[in-house]
């Protein structure tokens, strides 16, 4: 499977049914995929060092998925080799009162990575065209002007939000932010299996919430909302990658491969020294070499 096979084409007739959550691509075994993941982790560590030194680009990784699809585990494994000083992870929960007093992008803008750094959004501003669509009553708390009584049925409202997101991401791209968006596509059967594992295993009980079961009952609505997101916000500068998530080992390797390939296209390099800086290096070397020689 080529990386382009994972991209959801913008404004296409494709649907999520065209992406198999159980796919393992070219891999015939978990072992071979894990070896590639190890190599990917090593490559990403080297790229991160270059990214930090180059100091012209920032990287924003966005992960969206249904509960138990594997966002946390994917972030943990794929980013296990990076320097924590050059990476930041933000998990977005229910908006606070302060956040509701601002536009829907505000709380995410505050967490954007600086140049040279990698920022990871575990959920993101896409919740504002996902959860709000499945639970439109949430919009009533956002103090929006001229909000219709049934915003979930107002195509103009959602188009405006999609346009705002696309314009925002185009702006970030123009300023040097590389945006990679991953939808971890898990099947309902696999999600059920993982939720039951969380209930049965005391070590995983903390990961379980009864709310996950309630939201699962709304699966068709969530899939419909996700398809709308993918169709309207998968763009040339910030495409959506639909990653099969039923096999965690494949999902992690696929995400790692895509990140490494995309960042490898940036032609990063360490800063070049001018004549004065090179002279300083030679002078410093001379001083250090002569230490202990003077009596």
List pLDDT tens digits, range 237-274.
Answer: 999 999 999 999 999 999 999 999 999 999 999 998 99
Q: What is the pLDDT of residue 293?
A: 73
Q: What is the pLDDT of residue 1?
A: 57
Could you read off the pLDDT of 50-74 as tens digits, one per residue?
Answer: 999 999 999 999 999 999 999 999 9
Domain residue ranges of the chain, discontinuous segments joined by +:
3-289
Q: What is the pLDDT of residue 266?
A: 96
Q: What is the pLDDT of residue 2?
A: 73
8 A C-beta contact, residue 89 and residue 30? no
Could you read off the pLDDT of 105-162 as tens digits, one per residue?
Answer: 999 999 999 999 999 999 999 999 999 999 999 998 888 887 777 777 788 999 999 9
Q: What percent of the chain has pLDDT over 70?
A: 98
Q: What is the pLDDT of residue 151?
A: 75
Distance of CA 156 to the CA centre of its chain: 27
Q: What is the pLDDT of residue 77?
A: 96
Please, what is the average pLDDT of the chain?
A: 94
pTM: 0.94
Q: What is the pLDDT of residue 5?
A: 87
User: Does residue 171 surpass a pLDDT of 90?
Assistant: yes
Strand spans (E) along the chain:
58-65, 87-91, 118-122, 177-185, 240-244
Distances (CA, A) of 177 to 86, 155, 169: 15, 30, 9
How far apart CA 243 and CA 248 sit, in angstroms, is 10
User: Does residue 4 surpass a pLDDT of 90?
Assistant: no
CATH level 2 (architecture), domain 3-289: 3-Layer(aba) Sandwich (3.40)
Question: Residue ranges of the alpha helices (H) in 61-187?
Answer: 71-78, 97-100, 106-109, 131-134, 155-174
Question: Which of 1-10, 42-51, 124-133 is predicted least confidently?
Answer: 1-10
DSSP 112: P
- The larger pLDDT score, comparing residue 126 to residue 207, is at 126
How far apart CA 277 and CA 283 sit, in angstroms, is 10
Q: What percent of the chain has pLDDT over 90?
A: 86
Distances (CA, A) of 145 to 113, 140, 142, 155, 157: 31, 10, 9, 16, 12
Q: What is the pLDDT of residue 294?
A: 59
Distances (CA, A) of 107 to 58, 93, 125, 252: 18, 11, 8, 28
The neighbour count for residue 251, using CB atoms within 10 Å, is: 29
């Amino acid at each position: 499977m080529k990386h382009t096979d994972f991209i959801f084409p913008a404004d296409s007739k494709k649907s999520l049914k065209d992406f198999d959550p159980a796919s393992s691509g070219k891999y015939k075994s978990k072992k071979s995929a894990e070896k590639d993941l190890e190599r990917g982790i090593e490559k990403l560590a080297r790229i991160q060092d270059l990214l930090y030194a180059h100091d012209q680009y920032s990287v924003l990784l966005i992960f969206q998925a249904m509960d138990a699809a594997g966002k946390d585990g994917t972030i943990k494994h794929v980013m296990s080799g990076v320097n924590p000083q050059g990476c930041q992870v933000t998990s977005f929960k229910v908006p606070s009162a302060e956040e509701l007093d601002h536009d829907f992008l505000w709380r995410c803008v505050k967490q954007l990575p600086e140049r040279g750094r990698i920022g990871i959004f575990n959920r993101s501003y896409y919740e504002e065209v996902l959860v709000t669509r499945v639970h439109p009553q949430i919009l009533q708390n956002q103090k929006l002007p001229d909000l219709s009584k049934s915003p979930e049925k107002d195509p103009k409202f959602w188009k405006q939000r999609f346009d705002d997101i696309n314009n925002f991401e185009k702006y970030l791209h123009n300023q040097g932010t590389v945006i990679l968006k991953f939808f971890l596509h898990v099947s309902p059967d696999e999600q059920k299996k993982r939720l039951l594992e969380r209930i049965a295993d005391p070590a995983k009980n903390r990961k379980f919430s009864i709310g996950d079961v309630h939201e699962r009952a709304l699966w068709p609505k969530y899939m419909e909302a996700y398809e709308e997101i993918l169709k309207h916000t998968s763009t040339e500068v910030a495409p959506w990658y639909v990653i099969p998530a039923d096999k965690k080992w494949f999902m992690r390797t696929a995400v790692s491969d895509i990140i490494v390939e995309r960042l490898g296209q940036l032609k990063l390099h360490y800063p070049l020294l001018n004549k004065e800086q090179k002279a300083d290096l030679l002078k410093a070397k001379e001083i250090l070499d002569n230490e202990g020689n003077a009596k």
